[in-house]
Structure 1
Amino acid sequence: MTATPVENLPLRKRPIDIFFAVMFSLFIVTSCIADMLPTLGVDFTRPDGTFLVDSNYWYAHDADPLFMNPPVWMRIVTGLSAFVYLAFYLVLVPSLIRGWNRIQLPAVIYATMIASITGIIVFGVEFFGEPEFQTQNPAKFLAFNLPYVLIPLLLLIRMRKPLPFTRTF
């Protein structure tokens, strides 16, 4: 006796997956713009007229002093985003659009990593760590960074059931 394969819902009937595809497409851009520079050791402690350096300077100066002069462990965190998470996003977006159910386990692993590394370690240092790394503008820091933790956690909820693309959220 063989089980009949269950067909996935078309994308138009999965609006939450459209939302995730758009958001993780934006994460591709931010991984390239924001996380690549500190990982590669590019100096953005002052603006120099280039878009990448100036945008990272503006963000770090206004919202995230830890990002301005990242310690080695923070460069590892940004390296994960710039290379590992970026590669995942490049697979996740088409998986969401096409309804590839095999993305479920990698999505759960990714969301767990984001919650533990970014949500606990980075936020912990920003709010409770060394004074020189604590943000002076918590609202701005949260506005920039909370989506990078909440959206993966929502993805985790989305991927909690077997064959996530066969039914709506």
Structure 2
Amino acid sequence: MTALQPIPLSERAHDRWLAVALLSFACTSFGVDRLAALDVDFCGEPQQLWGALCWYGRNLDPLFLANPQWLRVMSGISAFVFGPAYLVLAWGIWRGVEAVRWPTIAWAVALLYSMVVHLWMEFFGELPPPRPGLLIAIYLPYAVVPILALWRLRGPHPFTKRI
């Protein structure tokens, strides 16, 4: 009979990167997405509070500033569901907790689905981005990280090895 032994984090450098990516996603979920879900006017007064987000919307992402209802719903899911989940998933991946495998897979599939919808509306909706290449670069991590997570967690015991 073969036993399973935990793989130490020192031998899972890719998991450190994945956990850091999830923590950075948590920051945008709790910050920008929470405000978008609550329909904050980023270009209203006092503008100095949200100046960078106003600039981003005006120069790169007019859909972000328009903030239609479907985008507010997606932002709310990101802020109030994905945000807390990012913290739990990052902790679980960092610690090598097998129980985060399926929730991480579910998150990755859900995020990829929402990115397809969001990017479709960005590029084929009423408010296309003035700099599409730059906008793709900004959103690219939200497609690449879930794909990498799916690849990383593809086996039944991603944090252990047979001894």
TM-score normalised by L of structure 1:
0.89
Give 1:138 deviation, angstroms. 0.6
| Aligned match of 2:8 | 10
Counting matched residue pairs gives 160
Contact 1:28-1:90 at 8 Å conserved across structures = yes
| Aligned match of 1:152 | 146
Greater CA deviation, 71-80 or 23-32? 23-32
Give 1:18 deviation, angstroms. 0.6
Contact 1:45-1:69 at 8 Å conserved across structures = no
Question: What CA RMSD, in Å, does the superposition of the two structures yield over aligned residues?
Answer: 1.5
CA distance in 1, matches of 2:138, 2:65: 15
Matched, 1:84 2:81: yes
Which amino acid in the other structure matches residue 49 of structure 1?
Q
Match runs of 1:93-132 below 5 Å: 93-118=90-115, 120-130=116-126
1:109 aligns to what SS in structure 2? helix
Contact 1:101-1:165 at 8 Å conserved across structures = yes
Give 1:162 deviation, angstroms. 0.5
| Aligned match of 1:56 | 53
CA distance in 1, matches of 2:66, 2:153: 36
Unaligned runs of 5+ in 1: none
Contact 2:112-2:142 at 8 Å conserved across structures = no
CA distance in 1, matches of 2:19, 2:101: 14
TM-score normalised by L of structure 2:
0.92
Which whole-Å deviations, capped at 9, do the CAs of 1:75-110 have from their partners, x for residues lacking one?
Answer: 011111111111111101110111001111111111
1:89 aligns to what SS in structure 2? helix
